[in-house]
Amino acid sequence: MLLLLFFGFLAGIATTLSPCILPILPIMLSGAVGGKKRPYGIILGFVLSFSVFTLFITAIVQSLGVDLDILRWVAAGILILMGFAMLFPAMMNKLNGLTGKLSSSKAVQNSQSKSGLGGGFLTGLTLGLIWTPCAGPILASVITLAATQQAGFASFLIIMAYSLGTSAIMLLILLGSRKVIEKVQAINKHLDTIHRVFGILIIVAGLGIATGYDRKVQQYILEVTPTEYNEFLQQIEDNEAVQEELEELEQSEEEMDTTELLEHMNEAAQAASSVATNPLFNQNPPIRAPEFTGIESWINSNGETLESLKGKVVLVDFWTYSCINCIRTLPHVTSWYEQYKDAGLVVIGVHTPEFAFEQKRSNVEEAVAEHDIDYPVALDNDFATWQAYSNRYWPAHYFIDKEGRIRHTHFGEGEYDKSEEVIRALLEEDGPEITDATVESAQEENPASFFRRQSPETYLGYARAANLLNAAEVQEDRSTAYSAVEGATSNEWTIDGTWTMYDERLESEDDAATLTYVFDAKEVYLVMGADAPAEVEVLLDSSPVPEQYRGEHVKEMDGRTVVTVQDETLYRLIQGPSFTTAGELTLKVPAGVALYAFTFGS
């Protein structure tokens, strides 16, 4: 138990440093101004509300019949009210007076009004209700127990440890910000203005939460954020000792059906004896895939069963629409479905809500439309199918063969190339070989269903660079002159001119430096940045990019097609009307521009 508390605390700390904290950051930082005790009020309210809402919100909603969207709107309304209070000091005094009436002593009320403790506490209570953190296996297990109303005192302690880890970093940020304001006279002179700016930011944040726009902002942030941190976060919790403790926690707080478990183990043994071991798959021996159970309703389908899908390869994707990691993986899952559905692949999205507001069907339908999901989605609001698979992760992928056996699993982000290999290998079992030629032939017959495999995400720093034809010439962290290598094929790239390659980026040292990449994709993106605005010329097949292929950041200028680079962000270079095979993208990169990673879309 102590181990889970320790790792829960660490996970809370790590989560605070991830993109999922960004939507509430302006609200949190408002504690840097106002009464001296305001930061402590925010933290106290946050820990209390997040712990209580995480564990008991499902039971509260079911017993009272309250629509969770109403609670979200109420929280957004409180934030907007507090934002206006920061804009108008007289209104802030009245608000602090109201929160101070929670205490019986008038002296205490006056003290709270001056200190900002009451207002901070109200802000913290609101944050705990609206925040949707990244969930690793520890938090996922506790949320599962809470959703099925099986959470006990141990679960409460773990949630407290998680929220304390999160709030510890929050408090350091708040106190550090206050210290800077107090020390720097230039800032201190404009304290009233800063106070009002935070008020405006809180109002904007509240409006975003009320309209759901905060999730769109969060999704954009995710698109430009590297995946390494999320993988690191998962590794903190994903170790054998933690998994054993989680199993003990679940067994102690759930009612175990030993008869069903023994039957499942017997089926697993029978499945193992009927299939050869394949080193590509990590589920050796395979186990019989549990049937979908307890599904409240379906989207894009009238209902599916694994029994009826025998003879198909099935990918079961456990996800939920506010999960950061899930949002990142969805483009890959939808792409696999489009590429291989006519070859026999079926994708079933099992939407198991991390938070109670995600149970609402209309919210899920909106997310399904937003992410262009055409495959069946099951609403697993009671965690029945989640528990049948003994799952602990968002997202989680279970690869099921034509006989209904789980042959491979993958949890979290990454390893997309390997996952596609697994899909192709399972499709080829007792069936024809899936080749690029097969895919292209199928695309001609049904253009909407198939795409040739697109180029993989490609990093340009030496730590993870792949397919660089100049690799033998690379001098790490040193300015080096390179000569372009001829004959590049799909997914290969080469550089010419003077560059410095760092572990995570490639930086031009020469106004005549070029990079050429041969890609297979419909869309090409590149993360770039520069200290001052710089024009990078973009060529497609050695010519200016035709208008119909220009990404939103590429403009025509004096007969050239260029992208103006400054902020370190994602730039869309190519957005073609159709899939391009072996397209040659050339960039003429002036000195001072840094290139980080290519990503591609279909």
User: What tokens were used for 221?
Assistant: 């942030």
- Can you give the pLDDT at residue 163? 78
Angle between helices 213-223 and 324-340 (to 10 degrees): 70
To which H or E segment does residue 516 belong? strand 513-530
Collapsed DSSP state (helix, strand, coil) of residue 384 = helix
pLDDT at residue 442 is higher than 60: no
Give the mean pLDDT of 364-379: 92
Contact 585, 554 (CB under 8 A): no
Contacts of 211 (CB under 8 A, 6+ apart): none
Give the whole-angstrom CA distance, residue 142 versus residue 157: 10
Contact 365, 299 (CB under 8 A): yes
Contact 597, 457 (CB under 8 A): yes
Give the whole-angstrom CA distance, residue 102 versus residue 214: 31
- Can you give the pLDDT at residue 178? 76
Place of tokens 């999160």: 166
Collapsed DSSP state (helix, strand, coil) of residue 560 = strand
- Can you give the pLDDT at residue 107? 35
Give the whole-angstrom CA distance, residue 501 versus residue 474: 7
Percent of the chain having pLDDT more than 70? 67
**Residue ranges, CATH 2.60.120.260, the chain:** 458-601
Q: Which of 120-134, 284-298, 315-329, 465-479 has the lowest mean pLDDT?
A: 120-134
CATH assignment, 263-445: 3.40.30.10
Is the preceding peptide bond at 19 cis, omega within 30 degrees of 0?
Answer: no
Render pLDDT for 32-89 as a digit per residue (tens, 0 to 9).
666 778 888 888 888 887 777 776 665 565 555 555 667 677 777 877 887 787 777 6
Cα–Cα–Cα angle for 8, 12, 17, rounded to 5 degrees? 150
Would you say how long the chain is, in residues?
602
pTM above 0.85, yes or no: no
- The per-residue pLDDT of the chain, averaged, comes to 77
- Can you give the pLDDT at residue 141? 60
User: What tokens were used for 13?
Assistant: 């700390």
Higher pLDDT, 392 or 136: 392
Backbone angles phi, psi at 54, to 5 degrees: -60, -40
pLDDT at residue 24 is higher than 90: no
- Can you give the pLDDT at residue 479? 95
Percent of the chain having pLDDT more than 90? 30
Render pLDDT for 220-276 as a digit per residue (tens, 0 to 9).
655 555 555 555 555 665 656 666 665 665 555 554 444 444 455 445 445 444 555
Q: Measured between alpha carbons, how far is residue 202 from residues 29, 80, 257, 386 in Å?
A: 10, 6, 49, 37
Neighbours of 484 (CB within 10 A): 15
User: What tokens were used for 178?
Assistant: 């206050």
Selected from 2.60.40.420, 3.20.20.70, 2.60.120.260, 3.40.50.300, the CATH number assigned to the domain covering 458-601 reads 2.60.120.260
CA 474 from chain center: how many Å?
A: 33
Give the mean pLDDT of 408-427: 88
**Residue ranges, CATH 3.40.30.10, the chain:** 263-445
Neighbours of 325 (CB within 10 A): 26
347 pLDDT tier (thresholds 50, 70, 90): very high
Render pLDDT for 377-402 as a digit per residue (tens, 0 to 9).
999 988 889 988 988 788 899 999 99
Give the mean pLDDT of 290-316: 93
